[in-house]
Amino acid sequence: MSGEMVLTNARIVLDDQILHGSVLIRDGVIADISPQSSTSTSGVDVDGDYLMPGVVEVHTDHLEFHFTPRPGVFWDPLPAVLAHDAQMAAAGATTVLDAVRIGSESESADTTAAAAHRLADAVTQAVDAGLLRADHAIHLRCEVSAADCVDAFQEFADDPHVRLASLMDHAPGQRQFADIEQFKKYYGGKRLISPEDMDSYIAERVEQSERHADLNRKTIATLATERGITLAAHDDATPAHVEESIGLGVHIAEFPTTIAAAESATHHGLQVVMGAPNIARGGSQSGNVAATDLLERGFLHILSSDYVPASPLQAVFQLAADGALDLVEGAKLISGNPARAIGFDDRGEIAVHKRADLVRVRSHTMPPTPRHPRGLDVPVVRGVYRAGTRVT
């Protein structure tokens, strides 16, 4: 954006306080923050709403829901990206790392690889054409137990839009699915595997992991480090897993499944990511550690939307209403900390010289519930600005 604009009469969520005042934007960058309301004719009165830094989303699987809205149904990838972008921006996200899964089971290798390429190409096309509301990059989710994972990674590794790679192994009996009964419940509940095929499927997945995971994890870590791609570990369950991740050059711990793993990750200086739906629902869908347990212990640094685009703002506003933390600290969980973890030093907070990525939010209070005796606090997004330009 070129030119000048003022957002005034705002409750501005800064890095250390909430200030009632105005934000001056010049050429897409925050030029001044004032405790006074502006009388500028170019000013926009935000009517006392909160002005927060735009959400920086490091882990969202939601693009895949738009690409495959029903089992076996594939939508055109570019319209899928546009629909996903619109939903993310409407939820307050101004920077989005779109998760693209690589590494496939043998019987679906061609389909999975083709889907990954179509999605990544569509994101790149939309970014390069300036079609998107939010600033998008690519997050490669690498299923290291798959035989084709390294080959798939090498096809994407030199794409400048790839900013993050996570090392995953969803084989039953470990990490996210240490409890095999939880694995059966998850995959059976989604009707991905029939009951009569479950045991043979589990045996095959375990064998694939034992054969491929260790070498693939090390190879991809080396390739990512050589290319300056930030590395994340996914679903570490033990301090030993964390030690392994540290040795691979990991900087982000996504969804550790136990308090012990999250504590170890924090001790080693990793940024711990948990899903905001875990906060909103009051626990993990997989039966693993609750995000609030990590927050209370100081082992939680980033919240991601995971599978619900609106959940980061919803989580931090409800945490503030419950007295678990204030909005200043909440903004760090969904904006400042993820921005720094990925290396986006020009955004993530409302500060002079930072990019004017901003979200205007009104708090809507609802009656108390047994889980939330102080009442429900629902954030209503009323405007989103990316580099000073209103995008929704």
Over range 218-238, report the average pLDDT: 96
Q: Cα–Cα distance between 303 and 298 in angstroms, integer?
A: 13
Say yes or no to pLDDT of 112 above 80: no
Say yes or no to pLDDT of 110 above 70: no
In the chain, the percentage of residues whose pLDDT exceeds 90 is: 77
Model confidence at 106, pLDDT cuts 50, 70, 90, reads low
Q: Cα–Cα distance between 342 and 232 in angstroms, integer?
A: 10
Over range 325-329, report the average pLDDT: 97
pLDDT, tens digit, for every residue of 187-201?
655 546 667 777 777
pLDDT, tens digit, for every residue of 365-379?
999 999 999 999 999
27-41, 109-123, 180-194, 273-287: segment of lowest average pLDDT? 180-194
Task: Collect all residues with Cβ–Cβ distance below 8 Å to 220 and sequence separation of at least 6.
Answer: 142, 144, 149, 150, 153, 165, 167
Q: What is the pLDDT of residue 357?
A: 98
Q: What is the pLDDT of residue 114?
A: 85
Instruction: Lay out the sheet containing 55-60: strands in order across.
Output: 55-60, 93-102, 135-143, 162-168, 230-234, 252-254, 271-275, 302-304
The two tokens of residue 65 are: 């829901």
- The backbone torsions φ and ψ at residue 39, rounded to the nearest 5 degrees and listed phi first, read -110, 15
pLDDT, tens digit, for every residue of 12-32?
999 999 999 999 999 999 999
pTM: 0.91
Model confidence at 284, pLDDT cuts 50, 70, 90, reads confident
Say yes or no to pLDDT of 2 above 70: no
Q: Tell me the domains of the chain and their CATH numbers.
A: 54-346 (3.20.20.140)
Let me know: does 205 contact 187? Beta carbons within 8 Å. Answer: no
Q: What is the pLDDT of residue 88?
A: 98
Looking at every residue in the chain, the average pLDDT score rounds to 91
Q: What is the pLDDT of residue 107?
A: 55
How many other β-carbons are positioned within 10 Å of the β-carbon of residue 388? Answer: 23
Say yes or no to pLDDT of 333 above 90: yes
Q: What is the pLDDT of residue 387?
A: 98
Say yes or no to pLDDT of 245 above 60: yes
The position carrying tokens 């003022």 is 6
DSSP 69: S
Let me know: does 378 contact 317? Beta carbons within 8 Å. Answer: yes
Q: Cα–Cα distance between 152 and 281 in angstroms, integer?
A: 35
Over range 344-351, report the average pLDDT: 98
Highest mean pLDDT among 65-69, 194-198, 337-341: 337-341
